[in-house]
Amino acid sequence: MYRFILKRLLSTIPVLLVVAVLVFSLLRLTPGDPAAIMAGDAANAEQIERIRAGLGLDQPIVLQFGTWLGRVIRGDLGESFYFRITVAELIRQRLEPTLALAALTILMAVLVSVPLGVAAAWRFGGWFDRALMGFSVMGFSVPVFVLAYLLIWLVSLKLGWLPVQGYRRIADGFIPFIQHLILPAITLSVIYIALIARVTRASVLEALGEDYIRTARAKGLPEMRVLVRHALANAAVPIVTVIGIGIAILIGGVVVTESVYAIPGLGRLTVDAVLARDFPTIQGVILFFSLVYVLVNLLIDVSYVFLDPRIRY
């Protein structure tokens, strides 16, 4: 098994390399000029040129890439064009809010969607099943920010239950931390719930059609046990798979959610960095996200072994 993990880990390297090349070339071959932005309103062409040289932007692209890649391998993601801070430090500062939001979202989504999906599969064809399918399609269809505004309007402004925006560090108190995170997590989890519920329903449905379910029921096992211990357990692989793939959607949703709720996380950092043409930060953050996505999916692949004894590597 360890050989498998090692092999998979190694196979992530070419993927990350491809990501690095894509991101790097994307940024360097575009017309936006960070030097002009940093120089500000009243600057002239000469000042801008000096800034460009200072940032190393006047060297041939291949050389810039090589230098940058060399540093990345050593763990140095470079320094932001704007702030006198390393990209690694910037990411570290913004990590907590995004991680917290993602964790709460996934937790909520799984806790809500799996039971819903199981129930829908159990009562296949019934009103609950149809309602769930309808809801899940709607969950895909409403844009995240529209949902966010609706929730803010209803819960924060009309009912006054929760704060409108912002993020509180967990170190500053657990209650404010949760209070500020609930609405964003709900907003983000809707699309995730829709996705996971569908997959849960489909795979539990498939499992319920298998012989061993009939056997279990014939044995007289309580239905709950049949559902959870037999059907759900056997349906676990696709469910966990989709949670992993959904991370990409999560990251995407995080960008918009952080914008509306003013959460200083990685999503916002990326948008701000893109608008400011802060190349090192953009590259660093995209690399980071890709790494996360790749690692999460690796974890999921590995988890198959525990979830389904039939899978051997």
Partner 1 sequence: MRALLVLATTAAAALTALGANAQVLRVVPHSNLNILDPIWTTQYMARNHGYMVYDTLFGTDEKSRVQPQMVDKWSASPDQRLWSFTLRPGLQFHDGAPVTGEDVIASISRWGKRDAMGQKLMTFVERMDAPAPNQFRIFLREPCGFVLEALGKPSSNVPFIMPRRVADTPADKQIEDYVGSGPYIFKRDEFKPGDKAVYLKNNQYVPRKETPSGTAGGKFVYVERVEWNLALRDAQAQVNALAKGEVDVLERPAFESYEQLKQAPGVALVNKDPLGFQYMCRFNHLHPPFNNPKVRQAALAAMPQEPFLRAQVGIKEFYRPCASMFTCNTPYGSAKGSEVQSKSNMKKAQELLKASGYDGTPVLIMKPTDLAAIQKLPDVAAQLLRQAGFKVDLQAMDWNSVVSRRAKKEPPAQGGWNVFCTAWVAPDIWNPLANAAIGGAGEKSWFGWPTDAELEKLRDEFARATEEPKKKALAEAIQARAFEIGTHAPLGEYVNPLAARKNVTGWVIGPGDIYWNVKKNGD
Partner 2 sequence: MKVLANWSVRIGGATLVLLVLVALAAPWLGTVDPTLFDAASRDLRPGEAGEVTTLEGETIRHVFLMGSDSFGRDIYSRVLYGARASLVVGISAALMALLFGVLLGLAAGYLRSLDGPLMRVMDGIMAIPAILIAIALVALWRGSLPTVIFAIAIPEIPRVTRLVRALALSIREEPYVEAAVALGTPPGRVMFRHILPNCIAPLLVQATYTCAFAILLEAILSFLGVGLPPDIPTWGNIMAEGRVQFVAYPHNVFFPGVFLAVTVLAVNVFGDGLRDTLDPKMAKRV
Cβ at position 189, least distance to partner 1 in Å: 20
In the complex, minimum distance from the CB of residue 27 to partner 1, in angstroms, rounded to a whole number:
13
Among 63, 146, 154, 311, binds partner 2 (CB under 8 A): 146
Which among partner 2, partner 1, none contacts residue 26 (Cβ within 5 to 8 A by kind)? partner 2
Q: How far is the CB of 41 from partner 1 (least distance, A)?
A: 5
**Beta carbon of residue 277, minimum distance to partner 1 (angstroms, whole number):** 6
Binding partner selected for residue 43 from partner 1, partner 2, none, CB under the kind-specific 5 to 8 Å limit: partner 1
Tell me if 180 contacts partner 2 by CB under 8 A.
no
Among the listed residues 270, 280, 281, 284, the single contact to partner 2 using CB under 8 A: 270
Using CB under 8 A as the criterion, what x/- string covers residues 51-90 for binding partner 2?
A: ----------------------------------------
Question: Which residues lie near partner 1 (CB under 8 A)?
Answer: 31-45, 47-48, 50-51, 54, 80, 82-85, 90, 93-94, 149, 152, 156-157, 160, 163-167, 173, 175-176, 259-264, 268-269, 272, 275-277
Alpha-carbon span 66 to 36, nearest angstrom: 25
| Residues at the interface with partner 2 (CB under 8 A) | 14-19, 22-23, 26-27, 30-32, 137-138, 140-146, 149, 153, 157, 198-199, 202, 205-206, 238, 242, 248, 251-252, 255-256, 259, 270-271, 274-275, 277, 282, 286, 289-290, 293-294
